[in-house]
Amino acid sequence: MRWNSNSKNKAITTKDTKEHEGKPAERLTRPIGSVRAGFLVILITALVLCASLLLSAPSEQKRVSIYSTAANYTLSVMDRDHRDYVSLLEVLEPLGKVTIKNDGSRWKFRYNNVDAEFNAGKTRARIQGHDVDLPGIFLLENGRGLVPLDSLTTLLPRFLGGPVTFNVTARRLFIGNVSVHFTATVNKANPPTLVMEFSSPVNPMIATEPGKLRMVFTHEPIVPPGSQTLTFDSKTIPSASYQEDNGAVEITVNGSEPLFASFSNDGRTITVTAAPQTAAQVAARTPQPQLNLPAITSPVQPGPYIPSVSSGGAPTYFAVVDASHGGEERGAALSDQLSEKDVTLAFARKLRQELESRGVSTLLLRDGDVTLSLDQRANLANSSHPAIYICIHAASRGTGVRLYGALLPPGGENHGSFLDWDTAQSGFAAASQTVETSLIAELQKKQIPVRALIAPLRPLNNVTAAAVAIEITPPENGISELNSPGYQQLISETIATGMVAAREKLEAPR
């Protein structure tokens, strides 16, 4: 699968506040002897309570982004005893063939032809007969092997046979020579235009706010220019800044006027210029409060908000099946003869057939080799008001099926009957989870390997229905079987059964 990124996982972590308890109370028990002191007692108590609330407030889920020639992907980082951990299986599975064997506290792991052994609670592992020290203990949770995040710089070269570069602070790991470089220059046109040239295609999430245009890159291995702050000889676009954190890169362009971004050169060029004056004037004259919110735009065209859909908006149990890629967008090269766009279309057609044979009306967004943008796919899906939206991808690595839920970016407020474009899926997360759980159950019944992940995989973010992406990988017989009618029939039947099984729960609130 070739990713179309949009950017964020959700998890709640809390900090232990016990070390702060006791001392403030100790001060409060001392006799102060005045009304003013009593007021001070109340003030200190309030401050302690506020501090406690701040310390226990949920923080943004930590993520690590991994970039390689095989795949670019983002994984959740888990906090265990004040140390960052990551699943070793999830790190290496997109890169090659992996097998695991859990023998009590002993966890045996094989990546391609490299054998390793880890032991729960130990800080030493054994890889290809050699001892390797870990910066923290190895954890085994429900058969899942977790390693300290900062151990990847030691472990991965031994598995992959080559060096890796890991920006631990920003949690961005590069495998091989995959970096995307860019240049930024402002020309003297009227209005002035910032032209950014990238060495490979990019597809960031773009947001505008007064005086700024922000571009967030989650799945592109972009590296900083010579300076992280760029200045230009322009009053309209005076500067831009580069920042990387939590597995993502953010480039902020500062402007004295509202800015607008457009893409060209197959995603290798981003042009930023002042927004059309007529649009700015219309916005200034319109007293609607939602226009004061940051205007979120898509990479293709402005489209900040979409009408919300009530839970009863769909008159029947209707499904939308979306075969990813198509037309000029070939997708991943699964083999010398096999393109992802062809495999996904074949699966989509079989899934439609299976759903309709079960009495579920189905719309196939792409029923030929045509190009559809991500925003077009979301708009077509939303306008048909489905109960379920299923996006199909294919990959040459791994086995079985991977299910992806939407990884939503932060921010993006909903206002009245309008939903923020990039977080429209937020109100349908529970329904999406219902569908995902049903699909997992059916796949497990057929003994088809299945994994559930969260990823910034557009257009899931923009869909106002239960939405799940399905990535189909080859059976054990090899990549050629991915396009075989028998294998496609097995997966399609199972997915269709799972979608039908979810119907009762999805329709319960109606």
Q: Could you tell me the residue ranges of all domains in the chain?
A: 63-175, 179-274, 278-507
What's the N-to-C CA distance of the chain in angstroms?
36
Q: What is the pLDDT of residue 476?
A: 72
Q: Quick check: 501 and 438 in contact, CB under 8 A? A: yes
Report pLDDT for 408. Answer: 67
- Please tell me whether residue 115 adopts helix, strand or coil conformation: strand
Residue 269: strand pairing partners:
197, 264
User: Strand 388-394 vs strand 318-323: parallel, antiparallel, or unpaired?
Assistant: parallel
- Topology given in CATH for the domain delimited by 63-175: Copper Amine Oxidase; Chain A, domain 1 (3.30.457)
pLDDT of 91 strictly over 90? yes
Q: Which fold has domain 179-274?
A: Immunoglobulin-like (2.60.40)
pTM of the model: 0.49
Does the pLDDT value for residue 53 go beyond 80?
no
* Residue 68 Cα distances to 77, 164, 426, 457, angstroms: 19, 10, 30, 18
Which of 195 and 281 is assigned the larger pLDDT?
A: 195
Is the confidence at residue 395, as pLDDT, over 70? yes
pLDDT, position 350: 92
Q: Is the domain covering 278-507 a CATH 3.40.630.40 domain?
A: yes
- pLDDT tens digit string along 10-45? 333 333 333 333 333 333 333 334 444 444 444 444
CA gap 172, 248 in Å, rounded: 8
**Per-residue pLDDT at 293:** 32
pLDDT at residue 287 above 70? no
Beta bridge partners of 214: 207, 252
Mean pLDDT of 193-203: 90
Are 16 and 82 contacting, i.e. CB atoms less than 8 angstroms apart?
Answer: no
